[in-house]
Amino acid sequence: MKKKLLTLTLLLVLVLAGCVKTKSEVESEGKEDGGKGSSNEKVQIEVLGTAAGEEDLNIVRDQLIKNGFDVKLNIQPDYGSFSAQKDAGNFDIALSSWTTVTGNPDYAVRALFKTDGANSLVKDAKVDELIDQASRETADEYTNTYKELEQQLVTEKAFIAPLYNSFKAQGVNKEVLNPDTVRLAKSRAVAWETIDFKDGAKRTTEPLITQQAIGDLTSLDPIKGNDGSINTLNTNMYVRLVNLTDEDEVVSDGSLSHNYAMAEGNSDYYFLLRDDIHFASVSDGNVIDSGERVGAEDVVFSLERAKDKDSVPDHRTYSLHERIKSAEIVTDLTELKNTKISGSEETVLEKLEQGLKTKLSGIVEHKTEADNGKGDYQVVKVTTTEPFPQVLNYLAHQSAGIVSEKQVKNINTYDVASFNLDTDIPYGDQRTITEGAKYNNQLYASGPYILVKKNDYQAEFVKNPGYRTGSEFEPKISTVIVRFIDDTDSALSALRNGEIHLFNGVPETKYDLVEKADNLLLQKSDSNAVAYLQFNTAGRKVSQSENLRKAVLFSINQDEFLNYYHGNKKKAYSTVSPLVDTGNELVADSSKVKEFLEAYHKE
């Protein structure tokens, strides 16, 4: 009760404080109180976070106070309010987190720390150089580069202070679902097509019921969103050229390709396409096989628009694909025979033919001509702007989902430069699938499921009748219901009561409740989620002083976080930590804190 009262009191104080200050106002205040004073005077640090992260904020506060800081907590009720405060510059350090959903370290750093990154507050030439250098290297080569990047980012400049690496956990109703069919991947979103009921007779009569926190969907056009509202939904609605295993290995399993090959030089990538996937559409509320095959033309169209930031208004994922120079259909079999794969004498043709029942007798340009049973295949080549092996991980991301060229062109007839959200309805707009007077589902899904309709409480998906029919990847359950439950306690209650069958995202502090329930199973694995403190790099004392940032850095004791979470966290040094073992480790050191504070006061 005391904890709840404290949270309410803090929130009330923030509400009474009035409107969010502008950045100029914050910078002005920062200059007014920018004097360092005597070496005995405590330095005030303002820590920004949300109510959901209150436990972490309290630990950070206590650690800073113990090391001589005066701490001001700025706790916001939700992420929107947090973002407004952060954009206004009302913080010295912000409690932040990042999950690398593509399973590759470039994604873990590029948007966050590169000077032109979409979410970056860092401007450092050496950081930029190391990020680009590592991106050109293979997994066998880049460990030392990422180690040096971490040392520049954390050790030398203290742009961030790492807290911990989280586990990933989900609760499964084992009395309803067969737990062996429910995957828990390190990076990729939950794959629905493998999930099956304990009683297989229920596949067509009952829905799989799961949940997610956010009900307001950014966009069902895969390139227009990269957030918790659509990552799982679009992952299950659009097939990709490749996929990630549960351990982040790039594979063709469950994708549009039979096989892929990286050519010598690490700039050309070849994909041999399947011919057994059709787009699903919705007619009069019913899901039908559109009869249109998912083919190379759709792949080229999808990737060309993915890499072009001007292809759609509010393009939110182009930075993931800007290293793609071109995507094209290969029509000359000789090219495959004469091109060697990277680091081998094996040819691209030999690599693409591995495991095929019918070898290539020819490659065709048009998808209507493809007939894998007769040896006629389509091949797509993706060329990068420079050697970039990690492009494969980005091609496994939901934003690289394959859309129908025909359907998207039919819907997106607006002019991008003069786009008006009030009058133009783009492909993937949630208004077209929201129950109401204007309901007009325009979706064409290349993946195992298609979204039929949604309201404020849930979204209903139905199996794509043209997806890998008769194979192990044909969806088992006909209907999936996604309930929108934004509170974790409510979601856990729904799981325990049988209202939902699967809860992805069980918090560490609630593991025991799932483990003790007779009808539930807790699945837990490593994840690529890292929590860290982001320093303000403009308008604050910490913005200008490396010494002050380092004093904060060495105040952080990660062991205390691990103890609080009963060992259900792991140490981290940066957002790269879950992906690359660099050997770097943060060790709290009060003597270094004192040293850097003294140096700061002498600046």
- Alpha carbon separation from 23 to 20, 536, 539 (Å, rounded): 9, 12, 8
Give the pair of three-digit tokens for residue 338: 């004469």
Q: For 2-166+527-601, CATH number?
A: 3.40.190.10
Give, in words, the CATH class of 177-491. alpha beta
Task: Please check whether the two domains, 2-166+527-601 and 177-491, share a CATH topology.
Answer: yes
Q: 525 Cβ partners below 8 Å, 6+ apart?
A: 167, 168, 169, 184, 185, 186, 246
- Alpha carbon separation from 368 to 292, 298, 377, 379, 448 (Å, rounded): 9, 12, 10, 14, 21
CA distance 322 to 231: 20
Q: Split the chain (603 residues) into runs of 10 and give each run's mean pLDDT.
A: 42 41 46 51 93 93 96 91 92 94 93 85 94 91 96 96 96 98 93 97 98 93 91 97 95 97 96 98 95 98 96 90 96 96 95 96 96 97 95 96 97 94 92 80 97 96 97 97 94 97 93 96 95 94 96 98 93 96 96 96 92
CA distance 395 to 320: 9
Strands (E), 83-225: 93-99, 160-173, 208-212
pLDDT (0 to 100) of residue 310: 94
Task: Please classify residue 516 by burial: count the beta carbons closer than 10 Å to its beta carbon, then call 0-12 exposed, 13-18 middle and 19+ buried.
Answer: exposed
Region label for 513, one of left (φ > 0), alpha (ψ between -120 and 50) or beta (otherwise): alpha
Given a contact cutoff of 8 angstroms between Cβ atoms, the answer to whether 240 and 231 are in contact is no
CA distance 360 to 333: 9
Number of helices (H), then strands (E), belonging to the chain: the values are 20, 21
CA distance 457 to 499: 13
β-bridge pairing 479-484 and 208-212:
parallel
pLDDT (0 to 100) of residue 387: 93
pLDDT (0 to 100) of residue 36: 59
Q: 60 Cβ partners below 8 Å, 6+ apart?
A: 47, 71, 93, 95, 163, 533, 556
pLDDT (0 to 100) of residue 14: 39
β-bridge pairing 449-454 and 458-463:
antiparallel
Single-letter amino acid, residue 521: L
Neighbours of 124 (CB within 10 A): 19
Residue for token pair 């699945």: 523
pLDDT (0 to 100) of residue 26: 44
CA distance 95 to 50: 8
Give the 3-state secondary structure of residue 430: helix
CA distance 111 to 109: 6
Nearest Cα residue to 527 out of 561, 504, 496: 504
Share of the chain above pLDDT 70, in %: 93
pLDDT (0 to 100) of residue 217: 93
551-566 confidence digits (pLDDT tens): 999 999 999 999 999 8
Measured on CA atoms in the order 470, 471, 475, 477, is the torsion positive or negative?
positive
β-bridge pairing 257-262 and 250-251:
unpaired
β-partners of residue 251 are: 243
DSSP assignment letter at 177: B
Given a contact cutoff of 8 angstroms between Cβ atoms, the answer to whether 588 and 66 are in contact is no
For 545, the enclosing helix (H) or strand (E) is none
- The DSSP line for 233-244 is HHHHHS--S-EE
Strands (E), 20-67: 44-50
Measured on CA atoms in the order 252, 300, 415, 323, is the torsion positive or negative?
positive
Domain limits, the chain: 2-166+527-601, 177-491
Nearest Cα residue to 391 out of 327, 310, 347, 339: 327
DSSP assignment letter at 521: E
CA distance 580 to 250: 16
pLDDT (0 to 100) of residue 33: 45
pTM of the full structure: 0.85
Give the pair of three-digit tokens for residue 423: 């009058």
